[in-house]
Amino acid sequence: MTNRNANKSEPRITDNIDNKKLTLARTDIGIAARTAVIVLTLSGIMLSIYQLFNLGKYAITLLQGQYLYLLAGLFLAQVFLCFRLQHNSPSTPPWYDWLLSAASLCGMFYFVITAEQSLDSGWEYAAPEVARWFSLLIFFLILEGTRRAGGIALFIIVALFSVYPTFADKVPNPLNGFAQPFWDTVPYHIISAESSFGIPMRAFGTLVIGFILFGAVLQRTGGGQFFNDLALALVGRFRGGAAKVAIFASGFMGSMSGSVISNVLTTGAVSIPAMKKSGFSPRYAAATEACASTGGVLMPPIMGATAFVMASFLERPYIEIALAATIPSILYYFGLFTQIDAYAAKQGLKGMPAEDLPSLRSAIKSGWLYLFVFALLIYMMVALRQDTLAPFYATALLLVINQMLKRHRFTINSGADLIFGVGRSLSELTAVLLGVGLIVGAFSATGLAGTLVNDLVFMAGDNVIVLLLMGALTAFVFGMGMTVTACYIFLAVVLAPALEQAGLNRTAVHLFILYWGMVSYITPPVALGAFAAATMAGATPFRTGLEAMRLGGVIYIAPFFFVLNPALIGVGSPGEIALVLSTALIGITMISGALQGHVSYVGGLGEGVTGFIARVVLFMAGLLFAAPGNDTLGVSHLQFSLAGLALALGPLFYAWTRHRES
């Protein structure tokens, strides 16, 4: 930013976010615990580099199981140092938390040294007595870690499903399965590669660590500030500029963090006051921040941790998942952007003052080096297909750049804060993934996954639309009580196979359940993202949730579009993809105008009965225009578009004539 703006008293969106994150990272857990977390985190990162870069060929080669046990031990141990037994417990870890932390390390180390023997002897089905007791220890530590890191709702779900194999034969259909004794179930959970140390933990060990490290370093080295300045320079001067900048800032931060709530609490601390100052109502400002933060988890290039787990489920390179998610993410943010523009036009809001904005030239000059980091990351993922190594190389380049820029250069204290923050995030995610892995293991042990698929398909009567509606409702309900990653993993096991069996594209199906697992963050009665933003804005939580539903309306309909026509996830010829995307963008513009009661650059739809009818007709027109043709529906894309165009002419002409008269 230029010197004339350097002394401005008003904060810019994501200004001092790094400092806020440092403050959050310095959770007062005591010097001893903080030091232990830093040491364990560094050990975990070094272990990942050792394994992923195959340095074991020069020293000790680790089996994948040994690597995952070590990694889980290092980060599960941190959970008991970073998260307390109860919310009102003292922040400094008491003696029993140190004991639980040590038990996590010791228990995991036992399975590290016995991994080869376990593999050769099939301990997951016939574990010796000592292994059973160690399995029980780790089992309870995982449950307690899940409770502390994931909350009581996730804990109850995980605990119930983890022991489900012991009474599966007594449960009525369609949840009936094969039963096995408790002493066989617990070792299966801990020793087999189908439960806690199955797909979720393998994704964590191969992909997630590197990208979370990269995202954290990017934020702390000024990358977030650079992209914020870029957004300010590009859109800050336009009407509703503060909200439009918030979209970019929160979307970018959410993509790196993968956490809706933390994103709201960090970027929202500055974006919400800026929007309110620009003329947005507190409710609208909070809803905008909630929707923008929610969409960040769905936005490439990083998409939080969930996309990496998805890549492991689909056994596809992560870059293919990111590319498939690009168009749905564009549709979501375009819908959010057009609604904000329509609202700003309707309310007569102006852009941000020019003196508060950086020039495009100064923004690029201050952070152009970060473009090389993303160029390296994308080149390694796309050209070299090195998904696992790319974030480590990109992080190394970031650290070099960081030492070249005095403003963000690391000191000993800020470096320690960074490592502590990374460790806390990774330990929280480790506990959740280990816990959700127990659910996956329960379905695997009882054979329920296969039978449940058939039952769901039977209940839907082979009707794809009914099956999708059932899937959307299921994803929404489970999304209320789980984190994004936990919800996705559960539904990927239970629901995705049924949708795939109906003949739908696999990648589209997994993105569908990811999207519908996210809607609970902006949908009452839960709406955690909207409620958190409302608290910061001083708005009514429930009304903010309803406003967020309207603003984020595209998130409810876009999944049906791309799951019925994979052209919207990049599957098809370039011409077909371009056509479907173009009509979808036009349709979303109509939908946004209908939801806000104002069509940008055309005019308002008015109030009263006539205005309501015009909004309903325009909404239906946008829905038809955006909906891709599908053989299952028996309607072509051209037919949908023509019907939408015919419906739209009336409301658009009405809005235009009202604008002329006014």
Give the pLDDT confidence score for residue 469 in this predicted structure.
87
The backbone torsions φ and ψ at residue 603, rounded to the nearest 5 degrees and listed phi first, read 150, 175
Following DSSP, what letter does each residue of 556-580 receive, concatenated? HHHHHHHHH-GGGGT-S-HHHHHHH
Tell me which amino acid residue 304 is: G
Report residue 377 as tokens.
């990351």
Give the pLDDT confidence score for residue 14 in this predicted structure.
40
Closest CA to 85 of 98, 73, 74: 98
Is there a contact between 363 and 232 (Cβ–Cβ < 8 Å)?
Answer: yes
Closest CA to 516 of 546, 539, 543, 496: 496
299: left (phi over 0), alpha (psi -120 to 50) or beta: beta
> What stretch of H or E contains 120?
helix 115-121
What are the boundaries of each domain within the chain? 17-204, 572-662
Give the pLDDT confidence score for residue 631 in this predicted structure.
63
Is there a contact between 313 and 199 (Cβ–Cβ < 8 Å)?
Answer: yes
Is there a contact between 211 and 147 (Cβ–Cβ < 8 Å)?
Answer: no
Is there a contact between 487 and 475 (Cβ–Cβ < 8 Å)?
Answer: yes
Give the pLDDT confidence score for residue 432 in this predicted structure.
87
Give the pLDDT confidence score for residue 520 in this predicted structure.
83
Give the pLDDT confidence score for residue 4 in this predicted structure.
37
* Cβ neighbours for 20, distance < 8 A, ≥ 6 positions apart: 266, 269
Give the pLDDT confidence score for residue 592 in this predicted structure.
92
> What stretch of H or E contains 629?
none
Report residue 193 as tokens.
């590669």
Give the pLDDT confidence score for residue 480 in this predicted structure.
67
Q: How far apart are CA 544 and CA 529, in angstroms?
A: 10
The backbone torsions φ and ψ at residue 467, rounded to the nearest 5 degrees and listed phi first, read -65, -40
> What stretch of H or E contains 470?
helix 464-481
Mean pLDDT by 10-residue block, N- to C-terminus, for the chain (662 residues)? 38 42 54 95 96 88 94 96 84 93 97 93 91 96 93 88 90 78 94 90 86 82 77 84 84 71 76 86 92 86 77 87 91 93 88 80 82 85 82 90 77 88 90 88 79 68 81 78 76 84 90 88 82 86 90 91 90 90 93 91 87 93 84 74 90 88 74
Report the greatest alpha carbon distance in the chain. 85
Give the pLDDT confidence score for residue 453 in this predicted structure.
63
The 3-state secondary structure of 365-389 reads: HHHCHHHHHHHHHHHHHHCCCCCCC
Report residue 401 as tokens.
């750049």
